[in-house]
Amino acid sequence: MQLGDFELYLLIAGRWKADGGLMFGVVPKVLWEKQKPADANNMIDCACVGVIARVNGRVIVCETGIGTKLSEKRAQQVELREPEGLLHSLQRLGIRPEEVDAVLTTHLHWDHAGGLTRRSERGGVELTFKRARHFVQRSEWDFALHPDVRSKSGYITDDFTPLADGHKLIEFLDGDAEVMPGVHLRHVGGHTPGSQVIVLRSGELACAVVGDLVAQTPHLKVAWNMSADIEPLRVFEEKARLLEEAEKHRWLLVLSHEPDQPAGYLEEGGRWRPEPRLS
């Protein structure tokens, strides 16, 4: 779809299943299961959702998903499907990986940053986008390298450390920044120290790729959050701010793990109206 100067395409970089307790924290299962039914193992359907944007001759990839590096055992545990969804989506648009100019990742958890790198033919790890600039909050990078004991399982260093190994393709941010004309990164923290929301602005129009601040449609309720959030109160504050802005200015929102109609608008009363052009 066209959003002002931006040409936007929905990116589904893989599908998988996550534990319902992880996704909804202290929200009682009797409530969340009405909207997201769980299987016999308490797992719910998820997608890795992002955006491919074209603007002024440049190609921007927002989020990269899980990628292809998971072990067979781990891939089976999360029922990973379509692990090549990232490159397949680009291929359908006629875009080669070396033609991508910028890669924006909301945070460095394995289900968002896994596609930054991939297995090489020689068995090592190589960058997926070898020419692109990658923008990461410094606080996220530092925490990902030295996470606390609870957060350690959320990071896989092979996903992101190659960006800094002599390639000089990573640019560290310390807070909010406009990294390209109309391309804004808003530091929100909460889920992880360096979580950021990607906001693509063109005049009065905007699209926000919200990461795990709003993972699925039930998380549009401010008080519903994930158990993995390290600062729940900050999540509530930043989410309330974002949703108020999105409703007031009619922002297009892209929810990071919603498998069914993940792009849409927040209307009065918290109603979700999907955008049919990004379904």
The overall average pLDDT reported for the chain is 95
Q: Can you give the pLDDT at residue 167? A: 64
3-state DSSP call for residue 153? helix
Burial of 4 (0-12, 13-18, 19+ CB in 10 A): middle
pLDDT tens readout for residues 41-55: 999 999 999 999 999
CATH code: domain of residue 188: 3.60.15.10
pLDDT at 108: 98
Task: Give the span between the Cα atoms of 127 and 106, in whole angstroms.
Answer: 18
What's the total number of domains in the chain? 1
Q: Give the list of residues 6+ apart from residue 123 with CB closer than 8 angstroms, or none.
A: none
- In terms of phi and psi (left: phi > 0; alpha: psi -120 to 50; beta: otherwise), the region of 190 is left
Give the mean model confidence (pLDDT) for residues 180-207. Answer: 97
Please give the average per-residue pLDDT across 186-206, as a whole number.
Answer: 97
**Predicted confidence (pLDDT) at residue 83 exceeds the cutoff of 70:** yes
pLDDT reported for residue 176: 98
Q: Which domain holds residue 263?
A: 2-278
Angle, vertex CA 18, rays to CA 157 and CA 269, nearest 5: 115
Q: How far apart are CA 87 and CA 223, in angstroms?
A: 35
pLDDT band at 268 (very low <50, low <70, confident <90, very high): confident
Looking at residue 120, what is its pLDDT? 84
| Average of per-residue pLDDT across 2-12 | 96
The model's pLDDT over 147-157, given as tens digits with 9 standing for 90+, comes to 999 999 999 99
pLDDT tier for residue 166 given thresholds of 50, 70 and 90:
low
In single-letter form, the type of residue at position 270 comes to G
What integer pLDDT is reported at residue 124 of this predicted model? 87
